């Protein structure tokens, strides 16, 4: 085989490899995993501004969000929220004296910021919806407010499961 033909074959193989890599990266990002950066303090102390996270997107294609899951929500096409699932459709939720009550039972939430936050009158979460809150209850736009309200399952993009950055906090997120 001539050197010119060999060079053209090599270039063709490189282009094919690059194309396959781009297609695989697109499929992985669209359907399996995503990478997000935390902006804001609504999930403090669990997550902090600048944390880089890996989101599992496939888990909710075959299952549903569970209590305590930290999820990524599509608020608008350009804005995503990071929140914790507190209640599901059919559950009642209330807050009294900085204690969250799920179906009349107080939640043990050792992960929240202890800054004071307001009471919230009991509501029932509609079927097919979720009630989400930030861990920094005093500084979180979440389901307590009309601006976000109850969240459709379709608006939940995936579950946060791993922190990549900062390196001193690298590991699984709970």
Per residue, the 3-state secondary structure of 9-69, as one string, reads HHHHHHHHHHHHHHHHHHHHHHHHEEEEECCCCCCCCCCCCCCEEEEECCHHHHCCCCCCC
The number of helices, as runs of H, and strands, as runs of E, in the chain is 2, 12
CB-count burial class (<10 Å; 0-12, 13-18, 19+) for 110? exposed
Which pair of tokens denotes residue 145? 């407010």
Q: Contact 152/125 with Cβ under 8 angstroms?
A: no
Instruction: Pick the catalytic residue from 42, 57, 129, 140.
Output: 42
Task: Identify the bridge partners of residue 106 per DSSP, sorted by sequence position.
Answer: 101
The single residue listed with the structure tokens 């490189």 is 14
42 is catalytic: yes
Instruction: Pick the catalytic residue from 8, 12, 41, 83.
Output: 83
141 is catalytic: no
- Known catalytic residues? 42, 83
């Amino acid at each position: 085989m001539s050197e010119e033909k060999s060079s053209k074959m090599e270039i063709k193989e490189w282009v094919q490899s690059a194309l396959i890599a781009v297609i695989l990266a697109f499929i992985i990002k669209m359907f399996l995993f995503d990478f997000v950066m935390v902006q804001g303090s609504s999930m403090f102390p669990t997550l902090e501004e600048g944390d880089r996270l890996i989101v599992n997107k496939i888990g909710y294609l075959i299952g549903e969000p569970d209590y305590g899951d930290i999820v990524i929500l599509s608020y608008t096409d350009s804005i995503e929220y990071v929140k914790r699932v507190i209640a599901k459709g059919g559950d009642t939720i209330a807050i009294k004296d900085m204690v969250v009550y799920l179906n009349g039972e107080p939640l043990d939430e050792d992960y929240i910021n202890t800054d004071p936050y307001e009471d919230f009158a009991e509501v029932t979460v509609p079927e097919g919806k979720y009630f989400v809150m930030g861990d920094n209850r005093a500084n979180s736009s979440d389901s307590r407010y009309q601006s976000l309200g109850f969240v459709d399952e379709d608006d939940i993009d995936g579950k946060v499961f791993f922190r990549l950055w900062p390196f001193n906090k690298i590991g699984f997120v709970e």
